[in-house]
Amino acid sequence: MKTAYLGIDIGGSGAKAGIYDLHGNLLAAAQRSYKPDAPSEGRAEIAISIIETAVRDAVQDAVAKSGTSIRALSIVSQGQTFVSLDAAGKALHPALLWYDSRAGRQAEALTLARAARPGPHHEIQAISSAAKILWLREHHPESMSRAHRHLLLPDYMTFRLMGRAVTDPHTAASTGLTTGGESYDADTLAAANIPRDSLADILPPGYAAGTVTPAAATQWGLSPDTLVVAGTNDQYAGAMGAGLYRPGLLSVATGTCLALVTLTPQKPESLPKGLWGGDFPIPGFYFVLAYSKTAGVALEWFQRNLAPDRSLQELDAEAAGVPIGSHGVVACPHFDGQVSPSPNAAVRGLFGGLSLHHTRADLFRSLVESLAFSLRDNVEHIRAQGYDLEQIRAIGGAAKSDFWLQMQADVTGLAVQRPRITEAATLGAAMLAAKGAGDFASLSSSVEGLYKPGHTFTPIPDHTRQYEDPYQRYRSFLPKAAFTP
């Protein structure tokens, strides 16, 4: 029986499990989907039991398919998404997803409290977990008075697996309760009235945290000696799974959102709005990140509402038959506000230039093109800060489509490489697990050892020229997509 590593990726609409050997070969994979609730503007939630069941079922399925003994596992996920538990471990409310933005007023109050003290300040956003905890306390005081733990998704799963909640500095920072590093900020904890012992322990990514309990091993299809290794944010894990181990490479993940990550050996200073920077899980490197909140989720919206009889793959094929420029249709893909490169919370999804001769394929292609144009905007935004970009590594759902990847290459003018493993977040998690198990001396050597390149798409110069006018039309169209409620 082969020894293998289990990487778990918990996303906004599903859970994925991938099992890899020491050489980065995929032995088995499984996934389970779930659908969050969006009861009103700015809210997004789902029962934590639904997520837990999806994760556990995906793991059981992958382990059974692989016929392997899991040496170590690691969990990667989005930040901000959390649930509060009572002393018996029972959820007190649905998990609030990362893009839930109901807690704007509470975030402002915490930011003001932090600004009142000397030293560097970090803005607490409406999506930060701490702000959402305050919102819940105000609106559900009776249940929240029984809160014993506040756990992000990886924290919750490790708590279920081994009775100890662990997280990493990057994921913990999404709570708004740290100022960087491996500890929580005492003043912010006090301002939010959140006890330190209600939060997960912070460990470095790739650090062994313990082993699964016998009960959890039975429930999850694992052995009791399976090692649990601290993970990281899913975007950073995806970047590692895309083989990012040096500057010049840009991972582009097209899933629920569109996320771009590149590495730099110098700590990013004074980045403009629309870009973020910080420590990367690989020691000695920092990351620069840009993202759009809605990407694949906007395409799913289109398919669900305008083409329920077609799959995304079928819509993809229809769009490939439409000329560059979508017969003049232009779209804005920012259905929940624009983040990068120019933050504007008022921006919403929009189609323009419609005539009676336009078809569904024209509209769908215009939406896909708008995502490529958004990618170009962010590439140029990153380059403008002095970061050289020589190749894109495409991961996520879009990486399975030759049509999409050729479009990304043509629009940006950069070569786009599809890794052999396109679900790179589970591979990145397995890289962390392999490092935590002691099978690689460093995380960088784990990334280098497990990454395998696939096909590379090079820009077609004539296509790049043809995309220029539609791109400029998109740029002119964006201001029209800002709406005041």
Residue 233, token pair as written in the block: 């944010």
Phi, psi torsion values for 475, nearest 5 degrees: -60, -40
Residue 423 lies in a domain: no
Cα-Cα-Cα-Cα torsion 387, 388, 394, 396, nearest 10 degrees, comes to -10
Q: Burial code of 425-441, b = ≥16 C-beta within 10 A, e = fewer?
A: bbbbbbbbbbbbbebbe
Question: Is the same domain home to 360 and 401?
Answer: yes
Asked whether residue 442 is domain-assigned, the answer is: no
Measuring CA to CA, which residue among 8, 32, 6, 4 is closest to residue 154?
A: 8
Task: Please count the other Cβ atoms lying within 10 Å of the Cβ belonging to residue 466.
Answer: 15
pLDDT tens readout for residues 286-315: 999 998 989 999 999 999 999 999 999 999
The partner residues of 251 in beta bridges, in order of sequence, read 261, 393
- 233, 373 Cβ separation under 8 angstroms: no
In this structure, the answer to whether residues 204 and 185 fall within a common structural domain is yes
pLDDT at 119: 57
Mark whether 151 and 221 lie in a shared domain.
yes
Predicted local confidence at residue 146, as pLDDT: 98
In a shared domain, residues 120 and 187 = yes
Query: Are 205 and 230 in contact, with CB atoms under 8 Å apart?
Result: yes
> Are 224 and 248 found together in one domain?
no
Among 203, 232, 261, the domain boundary falls at 232
**Pair 250, 168 in one domain:** no
Q: Which domain holds residue 325?
A: 243-414+459-485
pLDDT along the chain (485 residues), means of 10: 91 95 96 92 94 98 95 96 97 96 94 74 86 97 98 98 96 91 90 96 97 97 96 92 94 89 93 91 94 91 96 95 98 93 92 97 98 97 96 90 96 96 92 97 95 96 98 95 79
- Residues 440/13, Cβ–Cβ less than 8 Å: no
- Domain match, 298 and 379 both: yes
**Do the Cβ atoms of 399 and 421 come closer than 8 Å?**
no
130 in a structural domain: yes
Q: Look at residue 219 and give its three-state secondary structure.
A: helix
Asked if 271 and 151 sit in the same domain, the reply is no
Q: Which residues contact 317 (CB under 8 A, 6 or more apart)?
A: 403
**Structure tokens of 457?**
């798409």
Strand partners, 350: 332
Number of domains in the chain: 2
Same domain, 191 and 47: yes
Residue 427 lies in a domain: no
Task: Show which of 232, 253, 275 is a domain's final residue.
Answer: 232
**Domain termination residue (choose one: 232, 267, 293):** 232
CATH number, residue 463: 3.30.420.40
Q: In this structure, is residue 273 part of a structural domain?
A: yes
| 238 found inside a domain | no
Q: Looking at 44-116, list the stretches that DSSP marks H as alpha helix, in order from N- to C-terminal side.
A: 48-66, 104-115
Quick check: is 428 in a domain? Answer: no
Category of 349 on φ-ψ map: left (φ > 0), alpha (ψ -120 to 50) or beta: beta
Q: Are 113 and 259 in a shared domain?
A: no
Residue 120 is predicted with a pLDDT of 56
pTM recorded for the entire structure: 0.84
Task: Say yes or no: 258 and 158 in one domain.
Answer: no
Contact criterion met (CB below 8 Å) for 344 and 478:
no
Q: Which long-range contacts (CB under 8 A, 24 or more apart) does 313-320 make?
A: 313/401, 315/360, 315/361, 315/364, 316/368, 316/401, 316/403, 316/404, 317/403, 318/360, 318/361, 318/364, 319/361, 319/364, 319/365, 319/368, 319/403, 320/365, 320/403
Residues 275 and 351 in one domain: yes
Is residue 92 domain-resident?
yes
